[in-house]
Structure 1
Amino acid sequence: MTGMSEYRVMTVNMWADFTHLFGTKVFSHRIHSIEALIDTYHPDVIGAQEVTSSMMKYMDRILREYGICGKQRKSLMNNEANPVLYRKDRFELLEEKTLWLSDTPEVEGSRYAMSQFPRIVTIVTLKNRLNGDTVTFANTHLDVNFASVRQKQAEKLCELLAKERSPICLTGDFNSHEKHDSIMTIRQAGYDDCASIQLGSTLRGNIGSRRFSHMPIDHIFFDCSFSRKEIHKLTETPQNIWPSDHYPLFAVLTTHA
């Protein structure tokens, strides 16, 4: 590290476009709200979940400023990606990879038994153009159905990230709150969590919020090379449009001098 650097990080579940084909919830309508949040908070890095190939054509304005990395998960249906987006003026991309949360992480489409879909992690290594420092950002989306599956995915995630270069920031929709084993596994691996109970649910719907005891299931983790400066749950509705069925999270992290 050449000195203290500040990183503005956002995680947002973009709500896959196949869930709504008509009305105000379609992605082609909601993207304008997402763009407005990005314009307001100007994150350096964004971890996005539930991004399909058909959604990309509506992201042109975002992609003028941001590079995007990450493969789709290779499922026969609902073929989503968890891309990492980064400001092209701030970073040089050194490496990117997508790995599967399974016993064979380099085998595309692989999964654990009982996992509804293959689950992936996108990992990028970026070079800070201001000072030459390298930073690792990872983004994931864990299984929605079974805690035992999420636990195995979290263990594999920590195993994969242990091979990466610090500092490391991990974002995603973990379908788990801080009292669940999967989140405790990540914390025990040396990561702090920006998403505290005080933020409340990161799901908008009452049913989902009750399922997770009104606690955050979207998280921004960081290793010991970072310190947390700010964390915000974004409840705004730009242009009176909800950006997603999740509330995005925005954090400011600093690296130690």
Structure 2
Amino acid sequence: MNGEAVRVLTYNVRRDTARDGEFDWAGRRDAVAGTIRFHRPDVVGLQEPLAHQYADLRETVPGFEWVGDSREAEEGDGEFCPVGYRGDRFDRLDSGTFWLSPTPDDPGSVGWDAAYPRIATWVRLRDRAAGGTVLYCNTHLDHEGARARVEGARVLRERASEIREDDEPVVVGGDFNCVAGDEPYRALADDSGDAPEAKRGGQGGLRLVDAREASPYPAHGPDTTRTDFESLLPDRGIDHVFVAGAAVEGYGVAADAVGDGWFPSDHLPVVVDLDLWT
């Protein structure tokens, strides 16, 4: 089974808030949409958009079908973690949302010491030309609760392992609010003891690797993925893409500046090219 490379992009677009002043959503909307369009992803996972931001991007980034619920118990309230995919390339076979809490199927549930409900949006896509499927999971771990990040990462990995069919490729992307080597990161990408399958003796679980580490070429772009809109914030590489059953062809952090040199969000997008079905 052969197919063209699949480009995935994960991007925290920053929720709309008046305290951002000139960098509020009205001033950034077109730049965020332009960044996504320019990098031409096949699959994109967004973090933090409120309902009106999500609606804006569905309108201004054409050619995509979208799936995703808000993180609150009342649908439409709060932030979304939506996944978009090219409608001319993929068929959606299944999708869903679960909460990163001890009760993942309870809408609006808050896990451990988290400040807010946190979710993962997943979608199973079939490439029409190649015939293969891929499971894509998009998430945003809590920014305050240290335990919630670790436990949320464990829920995410365990659920992805349960949802995965056979040995289909899996992509897990998002804002993890941790850098490589931190405990939540290890819960996703390390088999030394934190991961569910490590506790089961390393058999039959989901073995995720950081796409940055799996790339055959040095990562393009900066090491950080955070900005203050006007400059890069060093040593804050907290946005990641993890893969299982996929070959990484290239990895980059897109430090696209616009206008007179500002960034469209307080995060930079991560862009990864994957060989999923060779």
Same fold, TM-score > 0.5, yes or no: yes
Task: State the Cα deviation string for residues 119-158 of structure 1 (Å, max 9, x = none).
Answer: 1000000111112211111000001013222000011111
The answer to whether 1:144 aligns with 2:167 is no
Match of 1:229 in 2: 249
Residue 195 of structure 1 contacts residue 218 of structure 1 at CA under 8 Å; is this kept in 2? no
Structure 2 distance, partners of 1:92, 1:118, is: 29
**How far apart are the structure 1 equivalents of 2:62 and 2:38?**
16
Deviations for 1:179-231, whole angstroms, at most 9, x for unmatched residues?
Answer: 10110111125111124697411111499946xxx0410001110x2111111
**Residues 27-86 of structure 1, C-alpha deviations (whole Å, 9 max, x = no match):** 232121122222221000001000111213422444531111110000689710100111
Shift of 1:17: 0.7
Which residue in 1 is equivalent to 2:237? Answer: 216
- 2:57 corresponding residue in structure 1: 59
The 1:208/1:112 distance shift into structure 2, 3 A limit, reads farther
Assess, with a 3 A threshold, how the Cα gap between structure 1 residues 62 and 134 changes in structure 2: closer, same or farther.
farther
CA distance in 1, matches of 2:148, 2:44: 26
Amino acid at match of 1:121: A
- CA distance in 2: counterparts of 1:131 and 1:208, whole angstroms: 39
Q: Tell me the SS of whatever aligns to 1:97.
A: strand
Deviation at 1:19? 5.1
Instruction: Tell me, yes or no, if the aligned pair for 1:176 and 1:217 is still in contact at 8 Å.
Output: yes
Q: 1:21 to 1:246 in 2, by over 3 A?
A: closer
Residue 46 (structure 1) aligned to one of 44, 59, 76: 44
Q: How does 1:1-257 map to 2 (within 5 A)?
A: 2-18=1-17, 20=19, 22-23=21-22, 25-74=23-72, 79-163=78-162, 164-165=164-165, 166-188=168-190, 189-195=206-212, 199-205=222-228, 209=233, 214-223=235-244, 225-240=245-260, 241-257=262-278
User: Which stretches in structure 2 are left out of the alignment for 5+ residues?
Assistant: 191-205
Q: TM-score, normalised by structure 2?
A: 0.83
Q: Size of the alignment, in residue pairs? A: 251
Q: Which moved more, 1:172-181 or 1:63-72?
A: 63-72
TM-superposed deviation, 1:4? 4.5
Whether the 8 Å contact between 2:36 and 2:61 is mirrored in structure 1 is no
Q: What's the secondary structure of 2:181's corresponding residue?
A: coil
- Helix, strand or coil: the match of 1:160? helix
Q: Percent identity?
A: 27
Q: Which moved more, 1:12-21 or 1:121-130?
A: 12-21
Cα distance 1:19–1:170, how it changes in 2: closer, same or farther (>3 A)? Answer: farther
* Partner Cα separation in structure 2 for residue 135 and residue 45 of structure 1: 11
Aligned residue identity for 2:159: L
AA matched with 1:236: D
